[in-house]
Structure 1
């Protein structure tokens, strides 16, 4: 996890600022620039040149957020690798059979729109059965049942756990925004 160290904050107007932050992890560090527009929109830039291009040419930033919590969570996980690749999103879920044995799994989606874990969770929860369950085959996700089917204790429903930022390789060819738009809510009993 990155440590966020503020270097300076420049006030463009009383409600518009540019903060320069130093992200530190172990012995590595990286500077980022955050444009805060009235405390309601935060844009992240990896270089001063990108920040200037935003103001002069309207070039979009690495990513933007609508809440300071989402911004902080993103900056804490931002990898130090070169290039302007937004963090992917990892969908964590589990299967729990009738005997309460659990199997855990995840799928990593590309996230070029920098959708935050909170935003992705809000969109997904609207499509879950009882705000918690889904059938992975309905959404083209892997089933987590690793043993042969036992009708006494097994079922199809899996439980959504969380979304989190990830710099791991994408496992699913779908973009997270497309996935969330395409999936259908399961049937409630």
Structure 2
């Protein structure tokens, strides 16, 4: 069973771009454990910078310095049967996320 990591970018005018990656789970990490570890890494258990987690950036091409920001918003982590869309595993993803807390 893989994990689907769903997230979005919401700009200053509340326009949204949605994205997701399907992450393999060869170590059989439980959904509960993955979600708990992930939320501890996120800003207010919800926000993150796409480049630091290695997921595609969803910013719109037009930027307004007065209203737009650089963080993305976590939407959901769920189990899926879909094939992985990234090369790294959920363990790699969570370990990377946790290493960001130490820096």
| Same fold? TM cut 0.5 | yes
Are the counterparts in 2 of residues 89 and 176 from structure 1 also a CA contact under 8 Å? yes
Structure 2 unaligned regions, length at least 5: none
What is the CA–CA distance in structure 1 between the aligned matches of 2:56 and 2:66, rounded to whole Å?
22
TM-score computed with the length of structure 1 as normaliser:
0.49
Which residue is equivalent to 1:165?
Answer: 79
TM-score computed with the length of structure 2 as normaliser:
0.87
- Aligned residue for 1:160, secondary structure, equals strand
Q: Is 1:145 aligned with 2:59?
A: yes
Are the counterparts in 2 of residues 98 and 154 from structure 1 also a CA contact under 8 Å? yes
Structure 1 unaligned regions, length at least 5: 1-86
Name the structure with the higher strand share. Answer: 1
Shift of residue 92, structure 1, vs aligned partner:
0.7
RMSD value, Cα: 1.6
What is the CA–CA distance in structure 2 between the aligned matches of 1:137 and 1:168, rounded to whole Å?
24
Deviations 1:81-128 (A, max 9, x none): xxxxxx110101111111111111111111012223222110001110
What is the CA–CA distance in structure 2 between the aligned matches of 1:148 and 1:167, rounded to whole Å?
35
After TM superposition, list the pairs within 5 Å mapping 1:38-77 onto structure 2: none
Which residue is equivalent to 1:4?
Answer: none
- Aligned residue for 2:41, secondary structure, equals coil
Shift of residue 161, structure 1, vs aligned partner:
1.3
Higher relative contact order (CA 8 A, sep 6+): 2
- Aligned residue for 2:92, secondary structure, equals helix
Name the structure with the higher helix share. Answer: 2
The list of structure 1 runs, each at least 4 consecutive aligned residues, that deviate by more than 6 angstroms after superposition, is none
After TM superposition, list the pairs within 5 Å mapping 1:93-104 onto structure 2: 93-104=7-18
